[in-house]
Structure formats: C-alpha cells, structure tokens
Amino acid sequence: MNLVSELKFVPTTCPYCGTGCSFYLVVRDNKVLGIEPWHTPPINEGKLCQKGRYAHQFIHSKDRLSNPLVKRNGVFEEATWDEAYRLIAKRFGSFRPEEFGCLASAKASNEENYLMQKFARIVLKTNSVDHCARLCHSSTVSALSEVFGSGAMTNSILDLQESNCLFVIGSNTFEQHPLIGRRLMLARKMGAKIIYADPRRTPTARQADLYLSMYSGTDVALLNGLMHHIIENGWEDREFIESRTKGFDLLKKTVMNERYSLKSVSRLTGIPEIDLAKAAEWIAKSKPCALIYSMGITQHTVGVDNVKSVANLMMLTGNIGKRGSGVNPLRGQNNVQGACDMGCLPDVYSGYQKVADEDSREKMKLLWGVEEIAIGKGYTVTEMMNVLANEPGKIKCLYLMGENPMLSDPDLNHVRAALENIEFMVSQEIFLSETAEFADVVLPAACYAEKDGTHTNTERRVQRWRKAVDPPGMAKPDWLIICEMARLMGYGKCFSYKDESEIFDEIARATPSYHGMNYKRLEHPGALQWPCPDENHPGTQILHEKRFATKDGLGVFSAVEWQPPAEVTDPEYPLILTTGRCIWHWHTGTMTRRSKNLDSEVKTGWVEINSRDARDLNIDDRELVRVSSRRGSIEIPAMVTEEIKQGEVFIPFHFKECPANLLTNDAVDSIAKIPEYKACAVRIEKIGVMRE
C-alpha cells in the first residue's frame, strides 16, 4: 500500500497568535496527522514557532465536545440539536433586548463573528455584543481611531525588517509573536538597533541593544521623558509636524514640564538617565524607526493615554507613513483584529461604522432586509460582568461563542459571582471550558481545522482557513449553528447562506475596507491587507502615507499626563504583580494544555520574583508560596530570578490550578473599559513546601 499517496496537504493558517503564519495540515482518513511547512506565504516563509508546529495536537482530543449538552437538575445531559435549539429559542424569546449579553470570539472566523453581531442586533435586538479585544487592545482601537482615524497597525510585518531602529515597549515579541521577532532579528542583522522597555528581562530583552528596565505603569512618564529630551535637543521632525499634524504646541507644553526631565523620569521609571538619553537619540536620529507594542501598553487604567503617547512619539519624529516605521500594536489572538473589524463591539457595525449614526443604521437595515434593528447603547464585557454581579436581574441571558471569562477576565471571584447570577446561558465551545460549566446549554463547535473561513491578522491581512477534516460527532461550525438558530427564531431569510464564501460576500458589501475582497482573491497565499476598497485594489501595506484617516487628514497630538496605576503598593501588599503568557501556552490553555509536546514542556504556572525580594522573604527557588491581593489568594511555585525588576512579580495566566486572574484588579480605563492586568498590589508568603 502506498501511504504517501493517501496523504492530503491542506493549506491553512495558525489558530494561535495574531502573526497569522500559514502551514499545511497533513491529513489521512479524516485525521490530522501533523503539520508541514508551507513556504509561499510571505509572513512566515515556512517557519513556525512551537505553538504553530504542534497546532494539530488538540484537534482529535478525546474530550472534544461532540454532542449538544443541556443542564437538567444541575447535571449536563446529551441532547439532540433539535432539543437544544428549541429550548434556546423558547428561552431567548422570553427576554427583553436589554437583558441580553453576547460574547463573540477572537478565535472564531470573520464570517462567524460577523454573524454573531448580526444575530445580536437583529434577532435579539441588542447592541450588547463584545469580545476579548476589550481585554487586550480596546485601548488601541479607541486611541488610534481618535489620533490617526484608524485603530489598526500602521505598517506591515515584512517592512519592520527595513527599520533602522525598533523600539519595543510592553511586548515580549520573541515569546508572544516569535515570527515577528524573526523580522526584528533580520533588521538587526542589517544594522538596526533594538530598544526594549519592560519590567522583565524577557527573551526579547536579551536580543536588545538597549534594555530599559522600568516599573510597571510608568509608560507615559517614560514616553513623555523621551519626547522632552528630543524636543530639548531640537531632534523633532519639524516638517512632518507642520505639514501632517495638529496639536503640537499643547503636547510640547506638557512634555517640557520639569516633571518629564530625564532626572524626574529616571526616578519615576527606575531607568538610568544615561539610558533614557540614549534611547531618545536613537529613536529620533535612526530613521526609519518603528515602535512595536502590545498588552504591556494597553492593559492599564490609562491604556488609552499610553497608546496616545506612543502615537505622539512616532509623529514627533516623523515616523508614520513610511516603510520600516509606524505604530505597530501586535494583536494577541489570531482573529482579534477581524472580530473588531466585523463589528463585535457594542458601538460599531463592521468596518467601525457607528451604531449611533442614523445613516449607518439605515444602511445595515437595508442590507440585512429588516425593519427593526437594535438601538441604544450596549454593554462592554467588563460592564456586563459588573452589572451581572452588582445589579442581579438586569442582564438575564448570556450567549457566548468560544470565550472563557472564568479564566481570562480580571478578579475571578467577581466573574464567578456574575456568572452565578445568570438566568440562562448558552455557550458554543470546542471543549467544556471553565466558563461553559456555568452554561444551561452547551453547543459543540468545529475547530479551525474543521471549517472554511477567513481571519485577519495583526497587520490587517485577511487569510483563509480551509477545512481539512470533519468535526467530531455532531459538532458544527459556529456560523451554521447561528444560522440554524436564527431560522428557528423566524429570521431564516436574513441568515440563508450556501457556504462561508457567501457570508464573506455580504461582509464585503457591508464593510468599506473589505469591499474589494472575495474568496477567489483570498486564495492567493498571503492574500490581501485592508483597506481594499475595490476589486482591482491590491490592498494596503502601509497606512497614512500621504494623509491620516481623520476628517481633515491630520494626525492629532494629545497632551497626556502620567498617572499612577489604580492600585499602588502599601505595607500590606508591597509588590506589584504583572501578568502575561509564556511561549509554550496560549491564553486560557484550552488548546495548548491538550497538546502533548507543549504541555510536556510547561505543566503548571509559577511566580517570578526578584532574588533580592526572595531573600528578604526567605523564599527559595521552586518553593511553594501563597500570593495574595485584595481579591484572593493562590498557591504557586516560586521562580527566583534576576530577570525581573525588584519590587515586581510576574505570573502567567494560562493555568486554572493557580489562576493569576484571581488576583488581578478589575479597575478599567474610563474610555476603552480595558482592565488593569499589568499592575496590582500583592504580597507573597512562604509556605515551606518544595516543588519538583
């Protein structure tokens, strides 16, 4: 028997981070056997990080959901699709629009996210639809929309390697987006300098030419200090400022205050003055310079201010609209950009068309063929949790697609209290997650390898997923589940699609930046980056080349003052906790902890503590400790290290047995409503048991 001839190689895109690497799924007899390199797509050129390399291992896990489950007397029982749908339709029909909350998913496809917000807005008549972008990059969307007119990465992954200077702040790029890290190394080989600012000496810090070891929550102070030094030395780009921007005088007045002199900023951030001066000079003089950031910048109560400050620095030095420059937010999940683009946010339809704008509302009604559509303000996910916990009975029903707030949201005791107050909850999932356990009905969904679709990576590139195998048992793609439910609830005409490509055609009609895209054009490896306004348009690699997307075409400087985190240290809680990911695991671990090779590398969480703090607390490496905040306590092994700043500790948030988010603070940015995952006060106590 010739085994090789039976193999199928199905080209698709990685389900993990927002880099959007492509590969082949190797398939035989309806089983995914492995992953092989696909060399043609431009982003990763056949290379993968460890998560991508093993992205097939969870697909056929024995505990995949394969039947609808209905909870009876507190116990899940298998049900038919018909039973589950009828129960959902009956219960959904019993609530008022303001009593619903819907959560879409940054892991699902564009088509599925588009249908989720359409279902919320025309079947449930609610704008309370949100997703986990709220928790990672809502501050990027809010801030960059205001100052540039578009809330997305300005440049492309490929052109980062043409930079002469790469300023990485609040992004552990080499661990979280390794194939973007590769571009940084290629730039460095060509002579670019890398500056890295973070409280932890991560693998990214080890590749940097200049490491700025800063305290959590001092980003605006650092950025204003750099701008202070640049203006003081006359290194700003006068021509760019005069021809492309407005608001410079106010910015100058703010940053030239003595508060942002190098001496003051050094005291606030903990970074030596000499390093601040060097960083300012490199950023201003090594054109083009690109700034790369991620959740170290966004996940703060001042997340919007942080992003505006980042934009100020790049406009000040004329580093926008050119290859190798720009403001480059690295999106965490594979389709967090797409889920935002598709309108899974309470205030916008797809393409960021405002729900409050009457013309946009009429356009959507016409396109969807309905007389009625949701009106009024919807809740963000953080607001939903607060209302559920604090005002029982106001929100009664939650409909989730692939979201796991019981591990990913801040202050998990608060989330638990919120979920316990729900009258009726439906969860579409591939595994019975910590959150799905709270549901009344669980619907088994297809994973990325079991469906067609598109998703949009961090640089606005829309790429294809291609079906390689059938879903397990009775599981179905999320888009089909939504359409079948809509049909039962009387909206069959608005949810009648032959396949995913027909849904995408409607997305293209609804969404100006996707107008020129269709499945045929997206067949091309690497496909298209938005904006792509018509079918002859080649897509857009670099935004704001000649003008910004604001009404008058000018970029807007913002005067931003530094403010401390919502929770600072005191004698009871003397350390600052920051949270994040590790290279081997992904988000709440639902997929990576079921992947043999990834799980065998890192089996549980840890708390990183500086060796001087550990000595003061008499804590040894690998010793079990108790970490407590004002919200709760966890027990976790200590990792004693020089690689984190004294006074700071770090815990990865993947692990349910030692969940970092039991400790984090749910205080949010007043505009973007993003929680402050990156700074809360904790204390550590010795327990005295060694962990092997």
539 forms part of the interface with ligand SF4 (CB under 6 A): no
> Is residue 52 a contact residue for ligand SF4 (CB under 6 A)?
yes
Residue closer to ligand SF4 by CB (options 21, 192) is 21
Least distance in angstroms from the C-beta of 583 to ligand SF4:
9
Total site size for ligand SF4, rule CB under 6 A: 14
**328 has which bridge partners?**
292
Taking CB under 6 A as the criterion, the residue among 19, 156, 264, 269 binding ligand SF4 is 19
Q: Are 320 and 544 in contact (CB under 8 A)?
A: yes
Exactly one of 14, 69, 276, 582 binds ligand SF4 (CB under 6 A); which one? 14
User: Binding marks (x or -) toward ligand SF4, 471..510, rule CB under 6 A?
Assistant: ----------------------------------------
In the block, tokens 């050119």 appear at 322
Stretch that binds ligand SF4, among 32-40, 177-185, 335-343, 678-686 (CB under 6 A): 177-185
- SS3 at position 56: coil
* DSSP tag of 487: I
Nearest distance, CB of residue 164 and ligand SF4, angstroms: 24
Annotate each residue in 25-44 with x if it binds ligand SF4 (CB under 6 A) or - if it does not, as one string: -------------------x
Q: How far is the CB of 546 from ligand SF4 (least distance, A)?
A: 31
Among 58, 70, 59, 15, CA closest to 443: 70
Shortest distance (Å) from residue 54 CB to ligand SF4: 10
Q: Among 21, 212, 221, 625, which residue sits at the site for ligand SF4 (rule: CB under 6 A)?
A: 21
179 lies in the site for ligand SF4, by CB under 6 A: yes
User: Would you say 48 or 255 has its CB closer to ligand SF4?
Assistant: 48
Residue 397, phi then psi, degrees to nearest 5: -135, 130
**Minimal CB distance residue for ligand SF4:** 52
- Residue 160 in contact with ligand SF4, rule: CB under 6 A: no
Determine which residue in the list 107, 177, 414, 451 makes contact with ligand SF4, applying CB under 6 A: 177
d(CA 540, CA 546): 13
Picking from 445, 440, 443, the residue whose alpha carbon sits closest to that of residue 419 is 440
With respect to ligand SF4, which residue has the nearer C-beta, 133 or 389?
133
Cα gap 569→323, rounded to integer Å: 42
Bin 663: left if φ > 0, else alpha if -120 < ψ < 50, else beta: alpha
Amino acid at 24: Y
Q: Are 51 and 19 in contact (CB under 8 A)?
A: no
User: Is residue 240 involved in binding ligand SF4 (CB under 6 A)?
Assistant: no
Quick one: which of 154, 286, 160, 146 has its CA closest to 230? 286
How far is residue 235's CA from residue 231's CA, in Å, rounded to a whole number?
6
Tokens (6 digits) for 387: 């209302």
Window of 14-22, 213-221, 597-605, 620-628 that interacts with ligand SF4 by CB under 6 A = 14-22
> Is residue 395 at the binding interface for ligand SF4, with CB under 6 A as the rule?
no
Contacts of 578 (CB under 8 A, 6+ apart): 199, 200, 216, 296, 648, 649, 650, 677, 678, 679
- With contacts defined by CB under 6 A, name the span among 16-24, 132-140, 392-400, 425-433 that binds ligand SF4: 16-24
Per CB under 6 A, the segment of 171-179, 203-211, 297-305, 569-577 that binds ligand SF4 is 171-179
> How far apart (Å, rounded) are the C-alpha atoms in residues 99 and 250?
44
Among 27, 32, 35, 48, binds ligand SF4 (CB under 6 A): 48
Can you tell me the distance from the alpha carbon of 368 to that of 363, in angstroms, rounded to the nearest whole number?
9
C-beta neighbour count of 546 within 10 angstroms: 7
From the CB of 416, what's the least distance to ligand SF4, in Å? Answer: 30
Residue type for position 264 = S
Is 461 an interacting residue with respect to ligand SF4 (CB under 6 A)?
Answer: no
Give least dist CB 43 to ligand SF4, A. 8
Tell me how far, at minimum, the Cβ of 475 lies from ligand SF4, in Å. Answer: 23
Count CA within 13 A, CB hemisphere, residue 456: 29
Task: Identify which range of 11-19, 99-107, 184-192, 269-277 contacts ligand SF4 by CB under 6 A.
Answer: 11-19
Task: Phi first, then psi: give them for residue 680, nearest 5 degrees.
Answer: -150, 160
Interacting span for ligand SF4 (CB under 6 A) from 9-17, 492-500, 613-621, 625-633: 9-17
Contact present, 79 and 44 (Cβ < 8 Å):
no
Contact 659, 653 (CB under 8 A): yes
Q: Which residues of 207-225 are buried (b: 16+ CB within 10 A; e: fewer)?
A: bbebbbbbbbbbbbbbbbb
Q: Between 15 and 675, whose beta carbon lies closer to ligand SF4?
A: 15
Q: Nearer Cβ to ligand SF4, position 20 or 555?
A: 20
Treating both helix axes as pointing N-terminal to C-terminal, what angle do 81-92 and 478-486 enclose, rounded to 10 degrees?
A: 60
| CA dist., res. 279 & res. 287, Å (int) | 13
The helix/strand/coil state of 449 is: helix
Q: Which 3 state secondary structure label does DSSP give 652?
A: strand
Instruction: Label each residue of 561-609 as H, E or C.
Output: CCCCCCCCCCCCCCEEEEEECCCCCCCCCCCHHHCHHHHHHCCCCCEEE
Residue with smaller CB distance to ligand SF4, 14 or 494: 14
Angle between helices 219-232 and 248-255 (to 10 degrees): 100
Total residues belonging to the chain: 692
Query: Looking at beta carbons only, is 20 or 378 nearer to ligand SF4?
Result: 20
Closest approach of ligand SF4 to the CB of residue 51, in Å: 4
Binding of ligand SF4 at residue 16 (CB under 6 A)?
yes
If the CB atoms of residues 55 and 141 are measured against ligand SF4, the closer one turns out to be 55
Please pick, from the candidates 11, 12, 17, 381, the single residue that binds ligand SF4 as defined by CB under 6 A: 17
Among the listed residues 51, 460, 515, 581, the single contact to ligand SF4 using CB under 6 A: 51
- Under rule CB under 6 A, residue 49 binds ligand SF4: yes
Strands (E), 258-389: 289-293, 326-329
| Shortest reach from residue 20's CB to ligand SF4, in Å | 6
Shortest distance, position 522 Cβ to ligand SF4, whole Å = 17
Task: Name which of 14 and 304 has its Cβ closer to ligand SF4.
Answer: 14
Binding positions for ligand SF4, rule: CB under 6 A:
14, 16-17, 19-21, 44, 48-49, 51-52, 177-179
